[in-house]
């Protein structure tokens, strides 16, 4: 099975200059856990998660209304292509200790795939379980 078969093609993204408060509202409104941070032409510059907002903005006592995403986002984001095998995605997630990956084609975001998407296929229960176990064992410090 390929990533394109399980990815979410409707990507909500944010630009690096937008506020952290806007990112929080988008995460809430769309019931998602991460936003790819993209340039106007859809190129990935980073990713921001609900955890990033809490730890890098709120806990740091910064004002979400005035803190731009570029100050709290994770740079150097791992990604995957739509024609990659799902097993490749689980290995990347385990190695990078992430639960979501932007799906990139020709340098632009075309989807998002999560560990949950992989687990829901039931064809990759073991791979998803192994990836989650590895992610949970070695939680990165922010």
Interval 111-120 mean pLDDT? 87
pTM metric for this prediction: 0.81
Who's near 41: CB < 8 A, 6+ residues apart? 108
Is there a contact between 24 and 47 (Cβ–Cβ < 8 Å)?
no
pLDDT at residue 121 in the model: 67
Structure confidence by residue, pLDDT tens digits, 6-23: 999 999 999 999 999 999
Residue 58: band (very low, low, confident or very high) from pLDDT cuts 50, 70, 90: very high
Interval 110-130 mean pLDDT? 72
pLDDT at residue 133 in the model: 55
Q: Given a cut of 80, is residue 128 above it in pLDDT?
A: no
Distance of CA 95 to the CA centre of its chain: 14
């Amino acid at each position: 099975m390929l990533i394109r078969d399980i990815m979410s093609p409707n990507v909500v993204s944010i630009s690096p200059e937008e506020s952290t408060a806007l990112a929080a509202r988008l995460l809430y409104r769309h019931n998602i856990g991460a936003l790819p941070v993209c340039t106007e032409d859809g190129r990935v510059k980073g990713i921001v998660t609900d955890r990033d907002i809490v730890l890098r903005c709120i806990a740091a006592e910064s004002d979400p209304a005035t803190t731009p995403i570029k100050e709290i986002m994770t740079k150097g984001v791992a990604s995957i292509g739509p024609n990659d095998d799902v097993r490749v995605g689980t290995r990347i997630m385990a190695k990078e200790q992430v639960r979501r990956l932007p799906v990139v084609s020709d340098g632009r975001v075309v989807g998002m795939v999560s560990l949950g998407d992989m687990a829901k296929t039931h064809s990759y229960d073991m791979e998803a379980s192994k990836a989650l176990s590895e992610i949970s064992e070695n939680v990165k410090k922010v």
